[in-house]
Structure 1
Amino acid sequence: MARLILILGDQLSETLSALQAGDKARDTVVMAEVTEEGAYVRHHPKKIALILAAMRKFASHLQDQGWGVAYTRLDDAKNTGTIAGELLRRAAQTGADEVIATTPGEWRLIRELQSLPLKVSLRPDTRFIATRADFADWAEGRKQLRMEYFYREMRRKTGLLMEGGKPVGGKWNFDQENRKAPPKEITCADPMQFTPDAETEAVLDLVARRFGDHFGDLRPFHFAVTRADARRALQQFIREGLPLFGDYQDAMLRGQKWLYHSVLSPYLNIGLLLPLEVCRAAEDAWKAGDVPINAAEGFIRQILGWREFVRGIYFVQGEDYPSRNALDHRRALPPLYWGAETEMRCLSEAVAQTREEAYAHHIQRLMVTGNFALLAGINPTEVHEWYLAVYADAFEWVEAPNTVGMSQFADGGIVGSKPYVSSGAYINRMSDYCKSCAYKVSQKLGEGACPFNLLYWHFLARHRERFEGNPRMGNMYRTWDRMEDGRRARIIAQAEDFLTRMEAGDRV
C-alpha cells in the first residue's frame, strides 16, 4: 500500500528518520508551504522566506535522488492552508492510508498529526545527539536539572574534547577565559552571505505579498538555503570567527551585528547542518592548532550542551511548559518590542537589529530584551510568542525553554537556579550601548537614572519572599537592606512611575 512521507520545513536533512524508513518505489514525499505555519504566530518575513526557499531547494534535491515529491506551494489554488489538510488531500490523491513522519519539535504539530484519520507513524528525530529517552533517563530522580552535568555526560558519550576519559585541558569549561569586554575592533569577516537566485527571489516576492505586514525587514535577504551553502558558512566561521568566539561571545557593540558569532543556528534548526558535524568541525580546528581551547569548548558547549539540554527540557516538561508563569507576571508586552521609539539605547539597538536581520545573539536576547521583560514583569507567554516570531532560528522546542525557563524564570527554576536579572552595570560592562544612551548607567536614582537600575531593585523587592533564601541572591538583598528607608522608597516609586508611563504607551 502507498504511504506518505511527511517532511516539515525544519526537517531538511537527508538523514531524516522518516526518509530512512521510506521506499522510493512506492512512497510519496509530502512537503507543503501552508499559511498556518507562517501565521500561528506572526513570524518574521525573513524567517518565513528562509524556510520556504530551503524547502523548495530540498524538494528539488529529493527529486534528483529519485523520490516522488508532492509539493504544495503557498499560492497553489488547492492549498488547504494546514499540514493536516495537505496530508489528507495527498492521501486522497494517492490512495495512501499511512503517514510516516519524523516527530515534530512542537507539541502543537505532534497533536495535529496524531488527530489525523490516518495511520501515523512518528519516528524519533535521530538528528539530535541525545534521544528524548536518553534525556528522560538522565533527568529521572534528579532534584535539579542542570545543563553542566548533562553536558559532561554528552562529552563522555561523544568523546568530544576528551582524552582518556577526562576533559582536555583538565577542565569541563573555560568560562573564566571568556566573556571579555568588547574589543576595540573586529578582526574577522561577517558571516558568509548569499545572493538569492531567481527561485529564492520568487519566494521573497511571495512572502512580501502574503506576510508583508509582519514585523521585520524581508530584504536584503542573505541566508543560505541549501546544505552546500550552509556548509560554506560553517567553514568560514571556523576559519574566521571561532578563534576569538570564546573571548567575545558576550560582547555587544553598536554597528556590529555579528561580532564573532557563527549565525549557524538557523541552518542547524532547519536541518541543513547537523549538530555533531558542527561540533566536530570546531574540535578539528582546535586539534589543528587553529583555535584555542576556550573558543572550541565554549562553542561546542552551546550545541552539545545547551541545545541538546533545552530540547530535553521541552519534551520532559510537557505541553503546558510554554504557558507557565511562576512569577505571575501580567504586564502586556510594550510596543518598544515592535519597534516603537525608546530612550533606552540597548533595547533600541537589539530590537532594530532583530527587525532588520531576524537575528540577535544570545546575550542581546538574554540580558537586554529578556532581562528588561523580566524586570518589568511582562507576561512570559507574550515574551515567548515574541521570541518565537521574530528570530529565524526560533522553533518552540528550543525557544520555549530559553525564554520561559532561562530568560523569564517562568518555570520556577527548572532551567536556571536563579533569575537572570541585572542592573545596567552588566550591559555597560559588556557593550558600548550606554555611552550613547539618554539615561545614565551610573545614576541609580533621580532624573536620568538608568531604568535597569530602578527595575532591578523593584524586581527584587516584589519577589523577596521567593528569592531572599536563594544562596546566589543573598548578597543582593543584604545590599538592599543596607540602604536607608527613604532611598528604597524613592527607588520603588520611580520604578513604578516608569512602568506606569510604559504601560500608558509613553516613550520611555
Structure 2
Amino acid sequence: MSGGSLIVVLGDQLSPALPSLQAGDKARDRVLIAELIEEATYVRHHKKKIAFIFSAMRHFAEELRAAGWTVDYVPLDAPGNSGSFTGEVARAVAACKPERIIVTEAGEWRVAQMIAGWEAAFGVSVEVLPDTRFICPLPVFREWAQGRKSLRMEYFYREMRRRTGLLMDGGEPAGGQWNFDAENRKAAAPDLFMPRPPVFAPDAITLEVLALVGARFADHFGDIEPFHFAVTRRDAEAAFAAFVQRALPRFGDYQDAMLEGEPFLYHAVIAQYLNCGLLDPLAVCRAVEAEWRAGRVPINAAEGFIRQIIGWREYVRGIYWLTMPGYERRNYLEHTRVLPEFYWTAETEMACLSAAITQTRTHAYAHHIQRLMVTGTFALIAGIDPHALHEWYLSVYADAYEWVELPNTVGMSQFADGGLLASKPYAASGAYINRMSNHCGNCRYNVKQRTGPDACPFNPLYWDFIARQRGRIAGNPRMAQMVRTYDKFADAEKARIAASAAAILARL
C-alpha cells in the first residue's frame, strides 16, 4: 500500500464503532493492531488479564476482516515485533507509506504522550479523534468541573442523567429521587441462591493465546486457568444478557455484600468487556432501564447499576484527565509503608483479605467492596504507599486501566488526593466487614476485640490511623466524630491501641 490511511487500534479499543474506524475507508486504508511486550509488562499484569486482552484483540481482528477491512495484526512472537506502540507504527509507516495516521485518543496518559510524538517522528500527519464510546466528552467534563469548589460525583451524575435521559420522567428523576443507594447495603445469607456468570470454553484462538501467555509470562501473578472470559462481542453480549435475566433484579440489594466462596454474588462481571470495547456503556444502561420500565427489576437495582456506568465510570475518567500528569504520585497522608507480601500470596490469617486476594489470583476479579473496603481499607489504615497499591490494582484486575483504576485508588480508596474525589477517607474497623460479610466467623482473629494479639487487625489499625492522621482529618465533617471518640479513650487504652498497631505493622 502506498497512500491511504494507517488506522492504529489500541488493545482497549475493540469496537467497530471506534471513531478512527468510522473515519476510515475500507477500500484504501489498513488497520494496525499489535500485541506488545511493553504493554504487558509496564506493570506486571495478571496472566489471565494478558490472555483476555490478547485473545479479544485477535478475535476483533477477525471481526474487522469479516467486515471487509485489511488488518495487519502483529502477534507478540511475530518476527521483528519491536514490542512498543511507536516501534510498530514506525514499521508500518515504513512498509505502507500512508498519507496519514488515524487513531482514537488513548485512554492512558503515557500512551497519549507516545501518540503526541508520532507526527514529528514519522513525518506523517496524525489525526487523533475523540473517543465517542464514552458518554461524557472530556471538554464537557472540564466545563462542568471549572470553578467548582467541590467535584463530587453525585452532582456530576445528576447532570449525566439529564444529559442521557436515563431514569428520567420529564425533568424529574424516576421514582422521585436521584439515588437509591441506601437500599443497596444488605448483607447476603450463605444459603441465598447465587446465579453464576456464564462461562465460555476457549476456542482455538484462545487456546493458542493461553499457551503463549503461559510460556512468556509464567512468573506473573495469577492463575491462567480455568479461563472462562468472553473474548468476542457476541459472547460479551451473552454474558450481559445473562446478568440482566438472572442477577439484575437483586443486584441492588446485595451489591455491597461479601460471602466466603462466592466471588460473584449478583454482580454483572462485565467491566472488563466495557473497558476494552466489547460492550457499549450507553447500550447496557438503556437495556437495564428498559428492564425497570417493563417492571422486571426494582428501581434500586436499575439505578444502582446505571449510576456505576454513567456516574462513577464517566466521572473517574474525567478526574483522571483533569489531573494528569502527577495525580499518580499524590500522597496527601504521607503513607510510605511497603505493600505487604500477602497482597501477592494471599498468605494471611485475616479471612477477608485472604478471600479477596485468593479470588483475585484465581479470577482477576473482585467486586468494588472487596477492593474499596477490604484490600483498600487495610492499605489505608496500615499506611501503605498509595503508588504501590495503585500499581497492584492496575496489575491484578482484568478490568483495570489507569484511567479508571488510578482515581479509584488514589482518590476514593486511599484519600491520597486530599479529598478532591472522596468526601472522607474510607477507613473502617472490622465492624464493617462483619456487618457486610460472613468472613469474621471463620477468622482466626476476634472482630469484637479492639487490642491484643487476638484482636482483628482492622480494629487497632483503624484507631491508630485516627490518632496518626488527626491533624489532617479532625476538620472533616464525616471524620470529626471518630476523632472525638478516640480523644475520649483513657490513656491506657490509647497505649494499648498503639502497641497493638505497632505489633501488626512490625509483622508486615
TM-score by length of 2: 0.98
The corresponding residue for 1:83 is 85
The corresponding residue for 1:239 is 245
Superposition map of 1:271-420 within 5 A: 271-420=277-426
Write the letter of the residue equivalent to 2:440: C
**Contact 2:346/2:357, CA 8 A, preserved across alignment:** no
Write the letter of the residue equivalent to 2:92: R
The corresponding residue for 1:199 is 205
The corresponding residue for 1:453 is 459
Partners of 2:99 and 2:115 in 1: how far apart? Answer: 13
Task: Tell me the percent identity.
Answer: 60
**Contact 1:188/1:240, CA 8 A, preserved across alignment:** no
The corresponding residue for 1:421 is 427
SS at match of 1:497: helix
SS at match of 2:247: helix
Partners of 2:218 and 2:367 in 1: how far apart? Answer: 25
Deviation at 1:188, TM superposition (A): 4.0
Partners of 1:133 and 1:21 in 2: how far apart? Answer: 21
Write the letter of the residue equivalent to 1:453: N
The corresponding residue for 2:116 is 114
Partners of 1:296 and 1:84 in 2: how far apart? Answer: 42
Question: Over residues 224-243 of structure 1, what are the superposed CA-to-partner deviations in whole Å (9 max), with x where a residue is unaligned?
Answer: 00111111111110011100
Question: Over residues 138-178 of structure 1, what are the superposed CA-to-partner deviations in whole Å (9 max), with x where a residue is unaligned?
Answer: 00000110000000000001110000110011000111211
Partners of 2:414 and 2:280 in 1: how far apart? Answer: 29
Write the letter of the residue equivalent to 2:444: A
Write the letter of the residue equivalent to 2:488: R
Write the letter of the residue equivalent to 1:345: A
The corresponding residue for 2:65 is 63
Deviation at 1:120, TM superposition (A): 2.0
Write the letter of the residue equivalent to 1:325: N
Q: Which moved more, 1:88-97 or 1:141-150?
A: 88-97
Closer/same/farther in 2, CA of residues 54 and 247 from structure 1, 3 Å limit: same
The corresponding residue for 2:187 is 181
Q: Which moved more, 1:258-267 or 1:188-197?
A: 188-197
Partners of 2:390 and 2:261 in 1: how far apart? Answer: 27
Deviation at 1:109, TM superposition (A): 0.4
Question: Over residues 199-255 of structure 1, what are the superposed CA-to-partner deviations in whole Å (9 max), with x where a residue is unaligned?
Answer: 110010001011111000000000000111111111110011100000000000001
The corresponding residue for 1:17 is 19
Question: Over residues 303-362 of structure 1, what are the superposed CA-to-partner deviations in whole Å (9 max), with x where a residue is unaligned?
Answer: 010000000000011211112111111111110100151111111000000000000000
Deviation at 1:414, TM superposition (A): 0.9
Write the letter of the residue equivalent to 2:219: D
Deviation at 1:264, TM superposition (A): 0.5
**Contact 1:230/1:273, CA 8 A, preserved across alignment:** yes
Partners of 2:390 and 2:357 in 1: how far apart? Answer: 15
Partners of 1:12 and 1:43 in 2: how far apart? Answer: 19
Deviation at 1:183, TM superposition (A): 2.5
**Contact 2:184/2:300, CA 8 A, preserved across alignment:** yes
Can you give the 5+ residue segments of structure 2 that lack an aligned partner in the other structure?
A: none
**Contact 1:145/1:415, CA 8 A, preserved across alignment:** yes
The corresponding residue for 1:38 is 40
The corresponding residue for 1:4 is 6
SS at match of 1:122: strand
Write the letter of the residue equivalent to 1:310: V
Q: Does 1:148 align with 2:150?
A: no
Q: Does 1:218 align with 2:224?
A: yes
Partners of 1:258 and 1:421 in 2: how far apart? Answer: 24
The correspondence for 2:500, drawn from 483, 494, 502, is 494
**Contact 1:428/1:434, CA 8 A, preserved across alignment:** yes
Can you give the 5+ residue segments of structure 1 that lack an aligned partner in the other structure?
A: 503-508
The corresponding residue for 1:99 is 101
SS at match of 1:69: strand
Question: Over residues 177-210 of structure 1, what are the superposed CA-to-partner deviations in whole Å (9 max), with x where a residue is unaligned?
Answer: 1110123433242111100011110010001011
**Contact 2:250/2:301, CA 8 A, preserved across alignment:** yes
Deviation at 1:97, TM superposition (A): 4.7
Partners of 2:64 and 2:193 in 1: how far apart? Answer: 40
Partners of 2:424 and 2:264 in 1: how far apart? Answer: 28
SS at match of 1:120: strand
Partners of 2:280 and 2:325 in 1: how far apart? Answer: 26
Partners of 1:413 and 1:240 in 2: how far apart? Answer: 38
Deviation at 1:376, TM superposition (A): 0.6
Question: Over residues 423-470 of structure 1, what are the superposed CA-to-partner deviations in whole Å (9 max), with x where a residue is unaligned?
Answer: 000000000000011110000112301110000011111111111011
**Contact 2:162/2:168, CA 8 A, preserved across alignment:** yes
Partners of 1:340 and 1:262 in 2: how far apart? Answer: 25
**Contact 2:380/2:413, CA 8 A, preserved across alignment:** yes
The corresponding residue for 1:506 is none
Partners of 2:357 and 2:444 in 1: how far apart? Answer: 17
TM-score by length of 1: 0.98
**Contact 1:91/1:97, CA 8 A, preserved across alignment:** no
Partners of 2:203 and 2:441 in 1: how far apart? Answer: 41
Aligned residues: 502
Q: Does 1:466 align with 2:472?
A: yes
Write the letter of the residue equivalent to 1:239: Q
Write the letter of the residue equivalent to 2:445: Y
Q: Does 1:432 align with 2:434?
A: no
Partners of 1:188 and 1:487 in 2: how far apart? Answer: 43
SS at match of 1:315: helix
Partners of 1:483 and 1:319 in 2: how far apart? Answer: 42
Deviation at 1:381, TM superposition (A): 0.6
